[in-house]
Every structure is written in structure tokens, then in C-alpha cells.
Amino acid sequence: MYKPVKTVIWLGVVALGALAVGGIALNRGESINAMWFIVAAVCIYALGYRFYSAFLSAKVLALDASRATPAERFNDGRDFVPTNRWIVFGHHFAAIAGPGPLIGPTLAAQFGYLPGTLWILIGAVLGGCVQDFVALFCSIRRNGRSLGQMARDELGPIGGAVALIGVMAIMIILIAVLGLVVVNAMRGSPWATSTVAATIPIAILVGLYMRGIRPGRVLEGTAIGVALLLLAVFGGGWIDANETLRSWFDYDGPTLAIMIMIYGFAAAVLPVWLLLAPRDYLSTFMKIGTIIALAIAIVILNPNVKMPAITQFVDGTGPIFGGKVFPFVFITIACGAISGFHSLIASGTTPKLLANERDARFIGYGGMAMESFVAIMAMVAACVLDPGVYFAINSPAGVVGAQAADAVAAISSWGFPVTVEQMNELAREMGEATLFARTGGAPSLAVGMASIFSNAFGETLLAVWYHFAIMFEALFILTTLDAGTRVARFMLQDMLGSFFPAMGRTSWYPSVIICSGLVVAGWGYFLYVGTIDPLGGINSLWPLFGIANQMLAAIALCVATTVLVKSRKVRFAWATAVPLVWLVVVTSTAAWEKLFSPDLRIGFLSHANDLASKLQAGTLLGDAAAQAPRLIFNDRLDAALTAFFLITVWVLVIETARVCHAALSGRRCPPLTETPHIPSRLVEDWVRD
């Protein structure tokens, strides 16, 4: 295309993007159409991709198409395979996009739509996409090494050890909080519980089919599985209507937590082909299919966003989680803006598939932009609900009161009118007994998705859409739970193996059982306490998860900054150093507040002390008194973990500064471990853009 035409097109994108962002930022009072969010997001990602990622590729990283990638050099037809870039993009996106970008924005909507939306857009373009891209690049230039290995090589043994422990800790907290989201979606809902339960035998059936009947026929197995899953959604409605059957699937939170623990243990110990792998095929198909359907539905329907741009809860008094907009919006929305976990994927499977180094831009930067778009859609789905309804679903009973009348009175008094009749009618439409205090984000996202889907694709079947959305969320939350437990088990076996060699043998059954048991006990503990916490558990666990995830991102950016400095690119090191500094500021402030804030809903220690003094004074009665010692212990444990994360980040930052300073002043430091340039032989066969 002629250059002037291109310039005009890009100027048009800039103007449209500015108009859309200005529109959503300056809108006050009136409801605003969701299309503005989509237009703003698409324009910002397009500009970020076209200009900023081009700058990163050309100047900062100097991607070199003539350099053979690990996939080309070690091509074994299995692990290392040069693959078409669209297919690698699909694999990478399916791997990074989990429940995080759906849940975080839903919770952060308590501040109004604006803080979360701006953070998702700016954080992704300048932070998250950069992190994923640079981590992928570093790994490609190091034979596909993992983040932990790169931290050890580039920063030395301290950096390596910190990265390893950080990954382990984030796994435990992540699984606990995701488990809690599923438990809250299934609590007292026979339809949701039976549908989610049905995914287990369906996955096993698909596993048996792909293993024994038609080995390796992934598409056939998945098609059968998806059909059965859809049947299970309808079947759940039928079970819910039958008095006897529904009592088999009606459980409270703590019981469901124990069931999830038993399930997680089984999934980690059983062979992968039986449960984990087939569940993953199903969840990947459902995930990609549903996300595309949601995007189409939002475009067709153009719903109006009813949430105000900014609510009064930016002052820290929000019912869903305590804390001011700074730093808590940046902690609550991790996935979707910047997620440290992605650096594990970008330094795991993906670098072993790239046929050309230049594809790293499309896959690393572009993949994260796509995930960020999912987060924008989740924000839209949360904000199209009536704010009163949104707060009624997401506020824990410990904040607004356990009785429906108390809850609606409290929420209406904040200026978000809602009535008991309205909530009962909504619950009836969705096929649920109640929608009050269904914390965790999944039920409110499901209500939002159900209303969007039913309006776009036919008014009927609201309850079916609702339970479809719950099934879709539970399906890939449980995949993350299975896979996470298994990976954490391997890590634990690896760590214990250095003290007791027998424990390090990954197929030795006593070691498998003990390590899986320890991992499940770790996350199971946090999950169980979350279910008995009167504030709903999400209130304390989600910020902890956000801090852990941002800590991991800080680790990845520390490695990336060190690599840039050692490669004599100091003048471009700001590209990773600026997001790193921002993350360190945000994580440290949030961790400090979670530790020492005198506000009972923010500070773990002040909450523990308050409970302890109430317990001593005898003002707690019944269940509250019985559970208080456990909640006090849990608060102190959460505080210890937060302190640990805070110290970890700072140890790594100081270590990074030390290594960078040594590299710049010519003193001894771990050398750059980049593999030498080997010319690619694939490059002439490929027609590139």
C-alpha cells in the first residue's frame, strides 16, 4: 500500500481511539454503549502492536529473522517443532488465557468501569505485552529455557532460588483462590454442582476414547465430549427440578471445598491421559468458542453499560474487597493487564515451536493483547448489570448482612437501588435458589453473560445460558487446578529430591502420593478457610493472589532488564525497567497495606488483633466464637505470606541492581548466556510479510 494511504489509515485509528477513550473517560451520568469499550480497546491494541512492538522488535530486542530458532535447530518432530505462526498463536493464547482475566475485572468493577478499563488497556500495551514478548525472546535466545533457569543463569543462584520459591507459592495461592471461585459458584446450587460434576465422567470417557478406542483422534474425542457437556447443562436443569435428585447435589461451601480437594488429589495422582489431558481438550474448545461467541454477542447486542465511571468505593470502603483504587485496582486486575504467570508459558512450550524469531512479536505481544481484550469483555459483562444487582451478587454477607432485606437496604443506601423482588426474580430466571452474596465473580459474570447471550441469540433459556457460563468457567478453572497441582507436585519432588534422592523420582509412588498430598493440603487449607470466612474469603485471597502474580511478573522483568543491560542495550532498558518499577511500587504498597493498615478490612494483622480482642472480651457468640481462632491464625499466616512476597521482590530487585551495576562497571557477574548465532535454513523457504 502507498505510504500516504497507510499514514492516513493510522491517523484515523489514532483519532478513533482517542475519541473512544475520551468518550468512556469523560462520560458522566448517562449510560454508555459497550461498543465504545470495544472500539477503544481495538484501536489501542492496534496502535501498541503496530508502533510500540515494532520499536521493541527492531531497536530494543533486535529480532533477527536469519537466526535459527530452537525449533529449527533441535527439531525432533515432537517437543521442538517449527510451526506455523497462527497455530503457535492459538496454542499460546489457549495456554495463557485462563479464568484470571474474567474474574479480576469483574471484582474491580466495584470502583466503576473506568479505573479497571484504563489499567487493562495501558497496563497491557506498556507492561503485560512487553513482559510476555521479552520473556519469549529471552527464552528463544536460550534454547527454550524456563524462567527459573534463566533467573539462575543471568542473576546467579539467589535469583534462581527466589524465582523457584515464588513460582511454587503463586501456584498454591492461585489454586486456592480459583477453587474458592468454583465452590462459591456451586454452593447451594444443585444445577451448577451436577453440571460441573458431570464434566469429570465426561472427561474420563473422552480420555478412554482417545487412549483405547481411537488413539490420538483428538477432534473426534473432543466433539463427543463437547456434545456431552452441552447435554450435561440441560441435564442439570432436569436434576434441579427433581426433588430427590437435587438433594444429592446440594452442598454448602466447606463440604464442596473438601470434595474439590479430593478431586484435585485424584487428578494429580491419576495418569494424565485419563482425566487431565481430555479435560484440557474440552476446556480449550469451550474457552475459545465461548470467548468468540461473547465477542460476537457484544457486537450484535451493543448493550449499555450501567455502572458509573467511578464509584464512591475508590476511597477504600468497597464491599467486595477493601482498599483504595491505588494500589488495589492494579493488584485485583493482574491477568488482562500484566500477569507474571505468562512468563512461565512464554519460557516453556511456546519458544520450542517458533519457526522464525520474528514471530515472537506476533505471538508474545499479540497474544497478550488478545487476552487483554478478553478482560475488557469481562469488564463489559460486569458493567451491563444493574449496579445494585452487581453489588448484591458480589458483596459478602459479612459486609451487607445475611438477610436479603438487610443486603438490599445497605446496597440501596449506597445509591445503587435494588429490591428483594428484583433479586428473587433474577434468581428464578437463572434457575438458582438465591443470588445474594455469591462472591468470587463467577456467578455475576455468568449472569452478565447469560443476559448478553440470551438477548443476542434469543430471549429464552436464561437459566440454561447461566449454567452454561458457570460450566464454562468451572471447566477451565478445574483444568488450571489439575495442571497446577501436578506441576507444583513436580516442583516439590524436585526440591525434596535434593535432600532425599528417592523423593525426586517422579514415578515412585510413595513420593507421588506424599508430594501430591502436601500440595493439595497447602491450597486446600486456604480454600477451606476461605469457605468459612464470614467476609467470603475472596476478600483476602484475591489480593494475595494478585500480589503473588505481580511478584512473578517483577521476577520476569528483572531477568529481562538484566539481559538488556548485559547486551549493551542500557539506553533501551527503560522498556522493561519502567513496568518493573511500577510493579514494585504497586506490589510493595499493596503488601504494606495488607500487612499494617489499621482498617480491619484491609490489614491482616489489625483484623487478627480485633478478632482476638473480641474473643477475649467474649463478644463473639456461637459459630463466630468457634471459628475465630482459625480465622486469627489464618490472618497471621496470610500476613506472613504477604511479608514473604514483599521480601522476595526486594531481594530480587536488589540482586538485579547489583548484577546490572557490576555489568556496567565491568566487574565480575554471571555472563550473558545467549546462544551463538546460527544461520537459519528455513528462512528462504518462508514467505514473510
Partner 1 sequence: MIDAIGQVSRWLGRTWAALREATGDDAYERYLAHRRECPAQEPHAPLTRAAFFAAEQRRKWDGVRRCC
CB 635 within 8 A of CB 605: yes
Which CB sits closer to partner 1, 189 or 283?
A: 283
CA–CA distance, 243 with 245 (Å, rounded to integer): 6
Binding flag, residue 273, partner 1 (CB under 8 A): yes
Q: Closest Cα to residue 332, out of 521, 65, 108, 132?
A: 108
Indicate the residue among 174 and 381 with the shorter CB distance to partner 1: 174
Could you tell me the CA-to-CA distances from 44 to 39, 59, 215, 342, 628 in Å, in that order? 9, 21, 44, 21, 48
Contacts of 424 (CB under 8 A, 6+ apart): 404, 434
Query: Which is closer to partner 1, CB of 68 or CB of 423?
Result: 68
Does 100 help bind partner 1 (rule: CB under 8 A)? Answer: yes
The answer to whether 98 contacts partner 1 (rule: CB under 8 A) is yes
Q: Is residue 135 at the binding interface for partner 1, with CB under 8 A as the rule?
A: no
Query: Of 4, 77, 622, 676, which lies in the binding site for partner 1, with binding defined by CB under 8 A?
Result: 77
Q: Output DSSP code: residue 17.
A: H
**Residue 570 contacts partner 1 per CB under 8 A:** no
What is the closest distance, in whole angstroms, from the C-beta atom of residue 295 to partner 1 in the complex? 19
Residue 305 parent element (H or E)? strand 304-305
What radius of gyration, in Å, describes the C-alpha atoms of the chain?
A: 25
Among 203, 297, 345, 470, binds partner 1 (CB under 8 A): 345
CB of 196 to partner 1, least distance (A): 18
Candidate ranges 308-316, 339-347, 397-405, 510-518; the one touching partner 1 (CB under 8 A): 339-347
Residue among 394 and 550 whose Cβ is closer to partner 1: 550
Q: Least separation, in Å, of the C-beta of 96 and partner 1?
A: 5
Kindly tell me which of 495 and 628 has the beta carbon lying closer to partner 1.
Answer: 495
Candidates 238-246, 338-346, 646-654, 675-683: pick the segment binding partner 1 (CB under 8 A): 338-346
Question: Closest distance between partner 1 and the C-beta of residue 266, in Å?
Answer: 15
Q: Which is nearer to partner 1, 136 or 483 (CB)?
A: 483
Within 234-263, which residues bind partner 1 (CB under 8 A)? none
Identity of the residue, 175 or 404, whose beta carbon is nearer to partner 1 in the bound complex: 175
Helix (H, G, I), strand (E, B) or coil at 241: helix
Q: Which is nearer to partner 1, 221 or 308 (CB)?
A: 221
Cell 435494588 sits at which residue? 418
Whole-Å CA distances, 512 to 258, 266, 267, 277, 503: 20, 11, 12, 18, 8
CB of 482 to partner 1, least distance (A): 9
The yes or no reply on residue 407 touching partner 1 (CB under 8 A) is no
C-alpha cell read off for 563: 539481559
Task: Report if residue 218 touches partner 1, rule: CB under 8 A.
Answer: yes
Among 480, 493, 540, 642, contact with partner 1 (rule: CB under 8 A): 480
Stretch that binds partner 1, among 50-58, 272-280, 316-324, 646-654 (CB under 8 A): 272-280
174 belongs to the binding site for partner 1 (CB under 8 A)? yes
What's the first-to-final CA gap in the chain, in angstroms?
13
Stretch that binds partner 1, among 251-259, 268-276, 453-461, 463-471 (CB under 8 A): 268-276
280 contributes a contact to partner 1 by CB under 8 A: yes
Q: Is the dihedral of CA 266, 269, 270, 273 positive or negative?
A: positive
Among 24, 277, 379, 565, binds partner 1 (CB under 8 A): 277
Which residues contact residue 658 at a Cβ distance below 8 angstroms, ignoring those fewer than 6 apart? none
C-alpha closest to that of 15 among 39, 50, 38: 39
State the number of binding residues for partner 1 (CB under 8 A): 55
What distance in Å separates the CA atoms of residue 392 and residue 418, rounded to the nearest whole number? Answer: 8
In terms of DSSP H, where are the helices of 242-307?
243-248, 253-269, 276-301
For the bound state, the minimum distance from the C-beta of residue 219 to partner 1, rounded and expressed in Å, comes to 5
Q: Is 99 in the site for partner 1 (CB under 8 A)?
A: yes
H/E element, 32: strand 32-33
Judged by phi (left if over 0) then psi (alpha if -120 to 50, else beta), residue 280 lies in alpha
Q: Which of 157, 215, 289, 510 binds partner 1 (CB under 8 A)?
A: 215
User: How many other CB atoms are there within 10 angstroms of residue 226's CB atom?
Assistant: 17
| 339 binds partner 1 per the rule CB under 8 A | yes
**Residue 84 DSSP SS3:** coil
**Whose Cβ is closer to partner 1: residue 414's or residue 545's?**
545
- Asked if residue 13 binds partner 1 (CB under 8 A), the reply is no
- Cell numbers of 41, please? 480497546
Q: Distance between CA 120 and CA 99 in Å, rounded?
A: 15
Query: Grid cell 454503549 — which residue?
Result: 33
DSSP state of 69: P
342 binds partner 1 (CB under 8 A): yes
Q: How far is the CB of 109 from partner 1 (least distance, A)?
A: 19
Picking from 545, 573, 546, 547, the residue whose alpha carbon sits closest to that of residue 559 is 573
**Considering the complex, what minimum distance in angstroms separates the CB of residue 181 from partner 1?**
11
Spatial distance between the Cα atoms of 396 and 436, rounded to a whole number of angstroms:
8
Minimum Å gap between C-beta 214 and partner 1 is 9
- For residues 606 and 599, what is the distance between their CA atoms, to the nearest angstrom? 7
Task: Choose one: 2-10, 241-249, 482-490, 608-616; the region binding partner 1 (CB under 8 A).
Answer: 482-490
Q: How far is the CB of 338 from partner 1 (least distance, A)?
A: 12
Q: Does 120 bind partner 1 (CB under 8 A)?
A: no
Is residue 90 near partner 1 by the rule CB under 8 A?
yes
CA distance 260 to 244: 23
Q: How far is the CB of 222 from partner 1 (least distance, A)?
A: 7
Stretch that binds partner 1, among 4-12, 35-43, 71-79, 654-662 (CB under 8 A): 71-79
Q: How far is CA 83 from the centre of its chain?
A: 26
User: Looking at 19, 258, 272, 532, which residue binds partner 1 (CB under 8 A)?
Assistant: 272
Q: How many other C-beta atoms can be found within 10 angstroms of the C-beta atom of residue 499?
A: 8
> For every residue of 580-623, which 3-state class applies, written as one string?
HHHHHHHHHHHHHHHHHCCCCCCCHHHHHHHHHHHHHHCCCCHH
Using CB under 8 A as the binding rule, the residues of this chain from 194 to 213 that contact partner 1 are: 210-211
By the rule CB under 8 A, 142 interacts with partner 1: no
Please report, as a single letter, which amino acid is at residue 397: A
Shortest separation between residue 98's beta carbon and partner 1, angstroms:
5
What is the residue whose three cell numbers read 438465591?
A: 434
List interacting residues with partner 1 (CB under 8 A): 75-79, 81, 83-84, 86-87, 90-91, 95-100, 146, 174, 178, 210-211, 215-219, 222, 272-273, 276-277, 280-281, 334-335, 339, 341-342, 344-345, 348-349, 476, 479-480, 483-484, 486-487, 490, 506, 545, 549
